[in-house]
């Protein structure tokens, strides 16, 4: 079957290499690349199709188990002891296309993502996003906010590490979405990088609302070989809140969104409010733009 990049090439579009594009769809291969190139990331082991729980000697609980090749927090779970390990691995393997899972050290701390675009190997960081998740055990995102409230020094360090990660993965063209954690001690770890715009409306909506830069247009320009260096013309706050059983207080706000001048877009996708185990369990959202970070909770 032809790869996406092969098809893009036949269409006269510009893209990254197949080898590294495929690597970015496999958390295990990506972790190996980070380790080999000195990019700080969590310690990990692979649990393949052959079975077994892997050698976790030298790891300390809690641990995180993930399928190697899924997104949206699907199959991700924190485990607290050996008794939970086998079930969590089977759950992750069950949703993995390759029936593989990784076990990695659990990095506590603040979650962020970095949104960027690249052309001919030059990287332009557009925005840093603060994240709020459900926490243990599934860590599904409930909120995203831009710009980040991190200190200028931490943001500088984050950007340097992300540039190293992008270079290690040979990302030369197009969007990228890098997820990181910052520990209580100030250590910065790269969790993963996707050669794509951030999901959850981060790339499609929040970046433009906070910076004025049309991220989607930039991605098209890269593919067409007609890229212009980004101009960040606005300095607003933007964010998204997701509706679920855990955030049921949002429903009346979404239903009466016209009463809130900062709200730009809303949708209720299901009247049932479910407890979240993956992003597909969320029941709606609201997106805002303002001159400050908006707190609805």
Domains (range + CATH), the chain: 4-105 (3.30.1490.20), 110-290 (3.30.470.20)
Answer whether residue 1 shows pLDDT above 50: no
Average pLDDT over residues 216-222: 97
Answer whether residue 19 shows pLDDT above 90: no
Q: What pairs with residue 146 in β-bridges?
A: 238
Q: How far is CA 228 from the centre of its chain?
A: 25
Mean pLDDT over each residue of the chain, to the nearest integer: 93
Q: For residues 99 and 71, which has the higher predicted lDDT (pLDDT)? A: 99
What is the DSSP secondary structure assignment for residue 232, as one 8-state letter? -
Average pLDDT over residues 255-263: 98
pLDDT value at residue 12 = 74
- Integer Cα distance of 21 and 12 in angstroms: 18
Task: Tell the residue number behind the tokens 């013309």, with chain if given.
Answer: 233
Q: CB atoms < 10 A from the CB of 77, how many? A: 21
- Integer Cα distance of 100 and 119 in angstroms: 33
- Structure pTM? 0.90
pLDDT value at residue 56 = 82
Confidence bin at 252 (pLDDT 50/70/90): very high
Q: What pairs with residue 104 in β-bridges?
A: 44, 64
Cβ-Cβ contacts under 8 Å for 112 (sequence gap 6 or more): 128, 129, 130, 131, 148, 150, 158, 179, 180, 181, 182
In the chain, what are the helix, strand and coil shares in percent, each to the nearest 5?
A: 30, 25, 45
Q: How far is CA 81 from the centre of its chain?
A: 27
β-bridge pairing 188-194 and 174-182 = antiparallel
Answer whether residue 7 shows pLDDT above 50: no
Average pLDDT over residues 132-148: 94
- Integer Cα distance of 85 and 88 in angstroms: 5
Q: What pairs with residue 268 in β-bridges?
A: 284
Asked whether the beta carbons of 193 and 200 are under 8 A apart, the reply is no
Percentage, residues of the chain above pLDDT 90: 84
């Amino acid at each position: 079957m032809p790869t996406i990049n092969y098809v893009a090439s036949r269409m006269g579009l510009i893209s990254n290499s197949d080898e590294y594009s495929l690597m970015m769809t496999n958390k295990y291969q990506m972790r190996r690349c980070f380790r080999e190139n000195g990019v700080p990331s969590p310690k990990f082991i692979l649990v393949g199709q052959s079975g077994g729980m892997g050698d976790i000697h030298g790891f300390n609980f809690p641990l995180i188990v993930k399928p190697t090749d899924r997104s949206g927090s699907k199959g991700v779970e924190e485990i607290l002891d050996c008794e939970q390990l086998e079930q969590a691995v089977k759950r992750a393997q069950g949703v993995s296309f390759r029936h593989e899972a990784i076990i990695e050290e659990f990095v506590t701390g603040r979650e962020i993502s970095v949104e960027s675009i690249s052309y001919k190997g030059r990287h332009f960081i557009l925005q840093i996003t603060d994240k709020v998740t459900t926490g243990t055990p599934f860590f599904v995102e409930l909120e995203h906010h831009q710009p980040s409230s991190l200190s200028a020094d931490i943001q500088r360090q984050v950007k340097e590490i992300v540039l190293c990660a992008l270079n290690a993965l040979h990302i030369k063209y197009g969007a990228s979405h890098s997820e990181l954690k910052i520990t209580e001690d100030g250590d910065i770890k790269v969790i993963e990088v996707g050669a794509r715009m951030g999901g959850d409306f981060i790339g499609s909506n929040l970046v433009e609302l906070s910076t004025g830069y049309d991220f989607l247009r930039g991605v098209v320009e890269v593919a067409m070989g007609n890229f212009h260096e980004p101009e960040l013309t606005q300095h607003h706050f933007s964010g998204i809140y997701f509706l679920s059983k855990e955030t049921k207080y949002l429903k009346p706000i979404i239903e009466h969104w016209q009463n809130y001048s900062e709200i730009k877009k809303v949708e209720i996708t299901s009247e049932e409010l479910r407890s979240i185990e993956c992003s597909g369990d969320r029941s709606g959202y609201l997106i805002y733009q303002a001159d400050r970070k908006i707190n609805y909770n």
